[in-house]
């Protein structure tokens, strides 16, 4: 029996993690994340300093606390992997803002 390996194209991306607020202990005990926020993959050519300013502005505009913003070094992923545009990131943050503001106000 012959084995066939699939060859895929790859591209470089950066992972962006934004921690907005702490999660509640009960949710963490059930396997939830320690912090609530966002994770995005962006094109590796995006300048990290400019992206950080954009993200801080978006969070401020939506009245969300920015616990931390981490932008990782570029990594190789399959070319089908989703890369988020600034417009998509903005829409996502806007869509989750009310929920995250409510969670942040609970002060876990």
SS3 per residue for 24-80: CHHHHHCCCCCEEEEEEEEECCCCHHHHHHHHHHHHHHCCCCCCEEEECCCEEEECC
Spans in the chain with pLDDT lower than 50: 4, 6
Mind listing the pLDDT tens digit for each residue in 65-93?
Answer: 878 999 999 999 888 888 999 999 999 99
- As to burial, measured by CB atoms within 10 angstroms (0-12 exposed, 13-18 middle, 19+ buried), residue 97 is middle
- Give pLDDT, residue 9: 86
The full set of domain ranges for the chain reads 10-105
pLDDT of residue 4: 47
- What SS3 class is residue 82? coil
Size of the chain in residues: 108
pTM metric for this prediction: 0.83
């Amino acid at each position: 029996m012959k084995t066939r390996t699939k060859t895929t194209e790859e591209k470089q991306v950066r992972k962006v993690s934004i921690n907005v607020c702490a999660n509640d202990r009960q949710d963490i005990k059930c396997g939830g994340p320690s912090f609530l926020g966002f994770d995005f993959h962006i094109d590796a050519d995006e300048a990290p300093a400019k992206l950080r300013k954009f993200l801080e502005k978006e969070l401020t505009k939506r009245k969300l606390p920015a616990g931390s913003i981490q932008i990782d070094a570029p990594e190789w992923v399959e070319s089908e992997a989703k890369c988020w545009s600034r417009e998509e990131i903005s829409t996502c943050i806007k869509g989750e803002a009310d929920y995250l503001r409510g969670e942040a106000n609970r002060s876990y």
